[in-house]
Structure 1
Amino acid sequence: MSYLCEIPLQLINLYAAAANRWRGCDWKTEFGPARLNLANLRSVQLHLLVSATAGQESQNWAEAESWLQQVEKDAYLAEDAAYRATRQYVAGDLRGAVASINEACKLEAQYHAELVWAPLRDFLRSEVAKIGGM
């Protein structure tokens, strides 16, 4: 595996611009029969609501908590895949970098129309295309 001598500033900037931007539900929702708006809430906050309520209301919050946990997990996995993509690129594994950033975008696409990781994906794809690697 060959290592690139210089890390492109654009790669660093694109990763830094997207890192920590998507952590969970950052859009308006109408979740479940209670039509709960979960925008900008975290699953740990909902855990408190599950404990503080009873009956159907508690069940609604519990279902929302479970869903938010999945969103947060996917956001974490997407960021991890994007980080892995940058490391693979620097290590000279361009195909691996593109595969990893595609994984990040696929995870995020379940939730966002405009992907946080798309600019980094586009950069990596263009870099690979420049050398005819894909």
Structure 2
Amino acid sequence: MAYIHVYLSDGTTQVSEGTGDQAITFTLNASNNEEGTPMRLFVKAEAGFQTTAAGVTITIVDNSASGKEQKWALAPDNAGAAGTFGNYGAALTLPGVVTNAGTPFWVKARATNDEPPQNDTSVDLKVEGVVEAV
């Protein structure tokens, strides 16, 4: 059972654990090497749980093993705006306790002109942390 989940910026729409039609979606024009507008997300612990002070690490995982993780980038939240994005494909560590109130972070994706038009669903965000009862 997962005790940490990812939510859209509304804080109520869960996009983790295969929750149906909800997904982190970018519509990009590859012929223009387009980069998507950064999207604010939240990691939240289930009610009654929290992470340890070490926080969580978010990793970009390409399930097709074709290097698509290199087209996604993550950033911490900086007072409601995207902080400095890491390199494309790099993991992000959010230190501190993650509670049910949620901890925000940002994600963006890019397309490159060497890829065909597609509806690519091969990339996941993997969230890891140590969870404890409150």
Asked whether the two chains share a fold, i.e. TM above 0.5, the reply is no
When you count strand as a share of all residues, which structure comes out higher? 2
When you count helix as a share of all residues, which structure comes out higher? 1
Q: If the length of structure 1 is used for normalisation, what is the TM-score?
A: 0.24
Please tell me whether Structure 1 or Structure 2 has the larger radius of gyration of its CA atoms. Answer: 1
